[in-house]
Structure 1
Amino acid sequence: MNDSVRRRGRPARLSQDAILLVAQEIVEFGGIDALTMRAVAQRLSSSPMAIYRHVRDKDELLLLLLDRAAAALRRPELPADPRQRLVVLWRFLHDQLVANPWVVGVLAGGDLAGRSILWLVEEILQAFLACGLDAERAGAAYRAVWQYTVGVLTIRIAMARTASGLDRPSFQSEMIASVDPGQTPTIASFAGEWPHAWDNYEFGLNALLDGLIPRS
């Protein structure tokens, strides 16, 4: 555990920053379901009531963690062309979520979002508008690509978690490898190279953008 949180077995001085450091460790190694006020208190040799003096509830704790993660991001350089800006922005978001998979669970599980990420949403919406969409369609386009991105990452994280506990090929790959070419010849042709959603994110992203953005 981080020395700033606990040192030589003595209880750390309780602060919001100390609470966030411990909460970050919990979600990174155990996921958001492992994060409870009691778990944080135990790690800090404190009581849950003492934690509540610094953080209202688990939702506020997750909001603070999201805001902390978003504030640490370095903004990418953006091209002038709005269509290319969208590719860069969505790829940037995708890659940041790959690096912080616990964030996907938080964002997919409700309406929590950190204020520090609003610049990215603003840039994406402006790029959609610059591509010729009106405000309503720009909002709908944002939601469509966001849902695609979260879906890809949710599947990727779940499959990676499953694969980490297996010492054999996955059921899906075994099923594809054993299909009868006479009954399903197209599927059989993919055996050994079965496509996965997280391997072709950019392909799907570009296909979505092509469908969402009006052609000049």
Structure 2
Amino acid sequence: MAQQAEAARRAPLTRERVLRAAVDLADGTGIDALSMRKLAQSLGVVPMALYKHVANKEELLDGMLDVVVGEIDPPVADADWQRAVRQRILSARRSLLRHPWASRVIESRTAPTPMVLQYMDSMISMFRAGGLSVDLTHHVMHAMGSRILGFSQELFGTPPPGVDPATLPAVDPETARQMAARYPYIAEITTRVAHDDASVVGSGCDDQFEFEFSLDLLLDGVEQLRRRAWTSRGGH
């Protein structure tokens, strides 16, 4: 095993190897801990050697994102458009769940990477092949938002990186009572749902279920619009 590890470290440095090592490092230590110096150490090279393959940290992040998007399954052949789109998006979600840092990188980008553009173009082609007009497809892409890449931007953010939700101060009973009196419908929802502490949607929510529920709701609604030959005001 030691000889295999040493042989891997001595393998010629390529852009693909640099990006894959960066993805592995981010998976293990988190995106905030990733640096060119640590990446170079993991590859057994000096930091300057990395710059022959990536110009800077931003290009590295773009390339890492392309690696993650490249793991998404190709479209399913011979399937109706809803099932094909659903399966592709759930594959994207699985890819992002394998790399929890990736959604943050996506949100930080000011322009889509080549692989993201290719993925988006492929998704649009699936909608069009399913009979959606250009007009409807345009609005569907807006409605889908980040869900098209397998994650949803929730109403309230998650705790900062490294903060365990279980360590956050609990609400005392009297404050909870006052809040329930002031916001009765919020209290009704939050006290009657089974809890999933790991949810990014909030305490009381099952992330995967909520994601698939929202996705199915959107896709079913889009199919109804397609059947009605819906167009937006002005047709764009």
The alignment's TM-score, normalised by the length of structure 1, stands at: 0.71
**Structure 1: stretches of 5+ with no match in the other structure:** none
- Aligned equivalent of 1:201: 211
- Aligned equivalent of 1:139: 138
**Paired letter, 1:137:** L
**Paired letter, 1:105:** R
Residue 36 of structure 1, CA deviation: 2.5
Residue 128 of structure 1, CA deviation: 2.2
Residue 145 of structure 1, CA deviation: 0.9
Q: Please say which of residues 68-77 and 173-182 is displaced more in the overlay.
A: 173-182
The CA deviation string for residues 63-100 of structure 1, in whole angstroms up to 9 with x for no partner, is 33333334444436356322332222222222221222
- Distance of 1:162 and 1:66 partners within structure 2: 19
Aligned partner of residue 101 in structure 2, secondary structure? helix
**Structure 2: stretches of 5+ with no match in the other structure:** 194-202, 228-236
- Distance of 1:149 and 1:74 partners within structure 2: 13
- Distance of 1:70 and 1:151 partners within structure 2: 10
The alignment yields a C-alpha RMSD, in angstroms, of: 4.0
- Distance of 2:105 and 2:150 partners within structure 1: 13
Equivalent residue runs for 1:1-216 within 5 Å: 7=6, 12=10, 15-16=13-14, 17-75=16-74, 77-78=76-77, 80-110=79-109, 111-115=111-115, 118=118, 120-148=119-147, 152-153=151-152, 159=158, 165-168=164-167, 170=168, 174=171, 178-180=176-178, 181-190=180-189, 191=191, 193=193, 195-196=204-205, 198=207, 199-213=209-223, 214=225, 216=227
The alignment's TM-score, normalised by the length of structure 2, stands at: 0.66
Aligned partner of residue 200 in structure 1, secondary structure? helix
Residue 19 of structure 1, CA deviation: 2.6
Percent identity between the aligned chains?
23
Does the CA contact (< 8 Å) of 1:94 and 1:149 recur in 2?
no
Does the CA contact (< 8 Å) of 1:98 and 1:153 recur in 2?
no
